Amino acid sequence: MASVGRAARDTSGLTPLAAGLSAIRPMLASVVVFSIGINVLMFVSPLYMLQIYDRVLTGRSEGTLITITIIAGVLLAVYGLLEMVRTRVLVRAGVLFDDKIAQPAFNAVHCGILRKPEAGLVQSLRDVDTLREFLTGAGLIAFCDAPWFPVFVFAAFLLHPWYGWIAIIGSLVIWSLTLLNEVLTKRDLTEASSASREAAQQAATTFRNVEVLQAMGMLAALRSIWSGRHLRHLGWQARASDRAGTLIAGTKFFRMFLQIIILGTGGYLAIQREISPGGIIAGSILIGRALQPMESAIGHWKGFVAARGALKRLRTLFDLAGPKEARMSLPRPQGAVSVEGVVAGAPGGREAILRGVTFAVAPGEVLCVVGPSGAGKTSLARVLVGIWPVGAGAIRLDGYDLKQWDPQELGQYIGYLPQDVELFAGTAAQNIGRFHDDIDAARVIAAAEMAGCHELIQHLDDGYNTQIGEGGHALSGGQRQRVALARALYGNPSLVVLDEPNSNLDAAGEDALTQAIQTLKARGTTVVLVTHKINILAITDRILVMGGGTVQACGQRDEILGRLISPSVVPSAGQPAAAPAHPGPAAASPAAKVVGHIASGTGR
């Protein structure tokens, strides 16, 4: 039933962004209604002042004063209550919007980066915050109040036409100054922002390689590069601030001078007996109220522009990630892998790296993928685990195309060790247990023992609870690789893909890796192993030779090695490989050169 409910949600036809906006639409409508009441109650102050000057002072009636004061107090209490309710509704709308969109946006960023790594989609997570803050904050309130500008101007006209024209002219001048500020500083601020991002990225890249900086004295050179970008940012920022400061000072002067004009005009009209003395104060309040929503909208204009850009980028993100399709749960695979004419390349790339790759691996077999650098071995590993999309052909696991699997469900049946090991900030146990909420301690320890890293973790300060730091910087290269291997083995996966798993291992690590592969084989787990080291071939069942993105040879281990190199160098189980003899005539083939290259220990 849970899967049916999930399917119903996924097939509703709405993107997560549209679903989030739809969910808060009723709450935003109520905010608009509250805003109407709040703006109507803003007339309380000018009306109260008119009554004070025109009725109370002239009639000297204390009863009238008490009565209108109580009425004004009650109305202002309602005003405060509406403000409080509006704020609370917006807070809850923000929480609801975030609940609807934050996690789908995280998933969409993940999918988007896999499909278009160069797009810089991590910004989209900040876009969620930008859009939420505008829709459920002061920015939306400002735009809800802005339509009341003509209402207050009309009230000013009713008091006296001059007041109405002062409100219109004053708002136009303030709007023009703000627009001029935007036009004159936009390019400078854009350049400053770009320079700031470049400087921050330069600093982040620099400090990820502090050991290289220290060892080879590169700090001064890279600091100079960062300093140039930082000074460029300061220059553009200073130029924008100078221009903006002048215009802001002019705006403040005009706003204060406008208040004097309002009071002076009111005094002149009172002398001419065209308005009452109370009209002076009431006119000042009305024009101030008329300009307030306009000034507030202008003040939040940049937030509106930022929210509009964030909305556009989020729509692009969800379009790139595509809709989430409900998939039926499939049974645990046995590990039969079938690669059928696969053509694939890097996401966003124009050229295919793999061209017509076809082979099959039976459950429990160990397939070793060999070949020189650039042959497509790592690309094949990424395609096998679903990281890179398949342009043509198919990859099947137990007969099911990988596209038919739910990626999260499939992930628990796959173990993957990438060539560039990446660990995450957290404990050793969390990294091995794949950060699942319900990490099974027994399975974590079993995976660590199989990978040969149980004892090294025991000797850490806090054992399995040791914080290994961002990227696992608290561990050595070999230790990181063994912990990553344990992560790949966690949960008894059906398919394990290891890309250069012994590149940083010592002799003990090599022995542990060999033992782990033999254990996996005994359990019936399919293992695909990418390597350049000949000694690991002793425990493999089959060899796949890659070259130029195509399969050069594929078959049983002894058959492939027997065809390509002297039988004397074929390693038997449990024995290290001997140095290759001089190849015979068959070694002239591309596949023979590949295997000979690997056997010599020089290939990568």
Q: Is residue 243 part of a domain?
A: yes
Residue 361, strand partner residues: 337
Residues 337 and 258 in one domain: no
Q: Percent helix, strand, coil in the chain (nearest 5)?
A: 65, 10, 25
Let me know if residue 284 belongs to a domain: no
Task: Give me the DSSP letters along 71-117.
Answer: HHHHHHHHHHHHHHHHHHHHHHHHHHHHHHHHHHHHHHHHHHHHH-G
- Output 586 or 543, whichever has higher pLDDT: 543
CB-based contact 35:100 (threshold 8 Å)? no
204 and 142 share a domain? no
Examine the domain organization and report whether 122 and 21 are in the same domain.
yes
Between strands 542-547 and 526-530, the pairing is: unpaired
Query: Is 256 in the same domain as 376?
Result: no
Q: What is the pTM of this model?
A: 0.69
Give the confidence band of 361 by pLDDT, cuts at 50, 70, 90: very high
DSSP state of 348: T
Query: What is the pLDDT averaged over residues 549-559?
Result: 87
Domain that holds residue 314: 11-148+300-326
Q: Measure the N-to-C terminal CA separation of the chain; round to a whole number of Å.
A: 50
Contact (Cβ atoms closer than 8 angstroms) between residue 405 and residue 385 = no
Helix (H) or strand (E) holding 551: strand 550-556
Does 534 have pLDDT greater than 80?
Answer: no
Q: What SS3 string covers 360-429?
A: EECCCCEEEEECCCCCCHHHHHHHHCCCCCCCEEEEEECCEEHHHCCHHHHHCCEEEECCCCCCCCCEHH
How many C-beta atoms lie closer than 10 Å to residue 201's C-beta?
A: 12
* CATH code of 573's domain: 3.40.50.300
Distance CA 20, CA 6 (A): 17
**114 lies in a domain?**
yes
Distance, CA of 537 to CA of 85 (rounded, Å): 71
Confidence of residue 571 (pLDDT cuts 50, 70, 90): very low
Whether residue 481 lies inside any domain: the answer is no
pLDDT score recorded for residue 438? 81
Place of tokens 């009639």: 59
Q: Is residue 435 part of a domain?
A: no
Residue 528, SS3? strand
Question: In terms of domains, do 144 and 32 share one?
Answer: yes
Residue 485 within a domain: no
- With respect to residue 491, please indicate whether it lies within any of the assigned structural domains: no
The structural domain count of the chain equals 3
When pLDDT is cut at 50, 70 and 90, the band that residue 582 belongs to is very low
pLDDT value at residue 565: 62
Residue 271 CA to residue 277 CA, distance in Å, equals 9
Does 598 share its domain with 556?
A: yes
Same domain, 22 and 143: yes
Task: Choose one of 235, 258, 274: the last residue of a domain.
Answer: 274
SS3 497: strand
Q: CA-CA distance, 579 to 596, in Å (whole number)? A: 10
- The neighbouring-strand residues paired with 360 are 338
pLDDT digits over 441-464, tens only? Answer: 899 999 999 888 898 889 888 889
User: What's the CA dihedral at 444, 446, 452, 455 to 10 degrees?
Assistant: 70
Cα pseudo-dihedral 377, 378, 381, 386, rounded to 10 = -130
Q: Are residues 32 and 68 in the same domain?
A: yes
> pLDDT tens, 296-340?
777 777 788 888 888 888 888 888 777 777 778 888 899 899 999
Rounding to the nearest 10 degrees, give the CA dihedral for residues 212, 216, 219, 224: -120
Same domain, 249 and 309: no
Asked if residue 269 belongs to a domain, the reply is: yes
Q: Is 546 helix (H, G, I), strand (E, B) or coil?
A: strand
Whether residues 171 and 112 share a domain: the answer is no
User: Same domain, yes or no, for 400 and 546?
Assistant: yes
Residues 101, 199, single domain; the answer is no
